Amino acid sequence: MNWQAFMSRPLKLDRLELNLIDLPQRETFKSAVGVRTSRQALILRYYDQAGGYGIAECSCRNDPFYSHEFLKAVEQLITDFVFPGMQHVQTFGDLVKLLNQVRGWPFAKATVLEAICDWWRRTGQGDIIDAWEAPALQRIPVGISLGLFESTQACIERVTREFDQGYQRIKLKIQPGMPAGYLREVRAAFPEQPIGVDANGSFGEADMAELVQLEALQLLMIEQPFAPDRLDLTAKLKRQAPGLNLCLDEAVSGEGHLFTAQTLGSIDELNLKPGRVGGPLNVVRLTELCRQFKIPVWIGGMFETGIGRSANLRIAARFPQAIGHDLSPSSRYFLEDIVHEPPIMDANGTIALPTDSPSVHEANLNKYRVHQNVLKKG
Ligand code: OSB
Ligand code: MG
């Protein structure tokens, strides 16, 4: 079946359930966008009139430091602008049109659309991603994203440990003014291994020379060196250091950004986060566009729980050329998950493609819930 056939399917909304949860982390994570000790997420459930449901995770942060979207604002957007219109929507295609009227807010839109896709899966109505493309991989290679370290030594020890765990590639967070030679020493300790870096847009024009020096390290990639709207600087960096493999994250939330980046010469590969681009339909569109432009793609993460990780793994299975996706198992980060049997990684750094939607751990969902809001169709 063609994925477009899902557009004419009727929706049977009874209510939306919004759950804000706060999951304790095993350890503190530090990056250029902040320090975090627990992970908040919005878990959206779509209930039909027969008691069936679909569930999705809104993976944006609870602050506006990665993107403008933050969890409380997403809740308000869904409550005030999506749910009222959703009450009158007949088909999935109508819902897509309704969401398209909202400017921006891809993480919010992705959550609503993914909840419907999960509802189809849970109620035996098929999967839009399966309809788009047959699975290519039964086991998906994953990498790990590591925060900023206090010292080069601490970083090297940790990287050693993570490669030993089996991770297929390692991504290190960086920010301007890191001690000179820091990355050079890490590279010297792991001369051949696949190591990339992620700046989360923290560098500016004045830091160009610092970035150009990274060319010699033959990193797997450098992710989002400059602010999302500074594709001009990214292109300039590429001209000055052609050997740097430029990966975009924050800068691409839709097809237009990809066209612009490609035209300017600001992109070599894409970290595709289903939430950041507005959900499964845009994942399909952007993937097709990347194929046209011959831009390699891998799937990124936002430290999702088992809910979001499972959804992203289904997508990642369709990118057989990727070295490793940012889909390390959630048990890596969290003491407990809100699903039973969250995805686990083997010694080769791969995770099995989930066959079904994850089983929701209701007790943990209750335990870690900060608040709940139910929007009933009137
Ligand atoms: O820049 O890729 C990023 C997490 C939150 C916000 C931004 C980023 C990240 C990650 C997470 O790097 C990677 C993962 O989910 O494993
Ligand atoms: Mg990133």
Q: What is the pLDDT of residue 149?
A: 93
Helix 106-122 to helix 306-316 angle, to the nearest 10 degrees? 80
- The residues facing 272 across adjacent strands are 299
What number does the ligand 1 atom closest to the CA of 171 have?
Answer: 12
Answer yes or no: is the C-beta of 300 below 6 A from any ligand 1 atom: yes
Yes or no: say if 156 and 186 are a contact pair by the CB < 8 Å rule: yes
Query: Looking at ligand 1, which residue's alpha carbon is closest to its atom 8?
Result: 302
Query: Looking at ligand 1, which residue's alpha carbon is closest to its atom 12?
Result: 145
Contacts of 142 (CB under 8 A, 6+ apart): 167, 168, 324, 325, 326, 327, 328, 329, 345, 349, 350, 351
Q: How far is CA 137 from CA 167, 341, 355, in A?
A: 17, 20, 12
What number does the ligand 1 atom closest to the CA of 224 have?
Answer: 1
* Residue from 302, 328, 333, 345 to probe ligand 1 pocket by mutation (most atoms less than 8 Å from CB): 302
- Least Cα distance to 218 among 192, 248, 247 occurs for 192
Answer yes or no: is the C-beta of 40 below 6 A from any ligand 1 atom: no
Q: What is the pLDDT of residue 145?
A: 96
Mapped onto helix, strand or coil, the DSSP state of residue 182 is helix
Q: What is the pLDDT of residue 4?
A: 86
Q: What is the pLDDT of residue 36?
A: 85
357 Cα: distance to centroid of ligand 2 (angstroms):
26
Q: What is the pLDDT of residue 86?
A: 97
Total residues found in the chain within this entry: 378
Tokens of 145: 């994203």
Answer yes or no: is the C-beta of 302 below 6 A from any ligand 1 atom: yes
Yes or no: say if 63 and 72 are a contact pair by the CB < 8 Å rule: no
Answer yes or no: is the C-beta of 248 below 6 A from any ligand 1 atom: no
Spans of the chain, pLDDT less than 50: none
Answer yes or no: is the C-beta of 198 below 6 A from any ligand 1 atom: yes
Query: Looking at ligand 1, which residue's alpha carbon is closest to its atom 1?
Result: 200
- The residues facing 46 across adjacent strands are 16, 54
Strands 195-198 and 139-141, by their bridges, are unpaired
At residue 7, what is the residue type?
A: M
How many C-beta atoms surround the C-beta of residue 153 within 10 A?
11
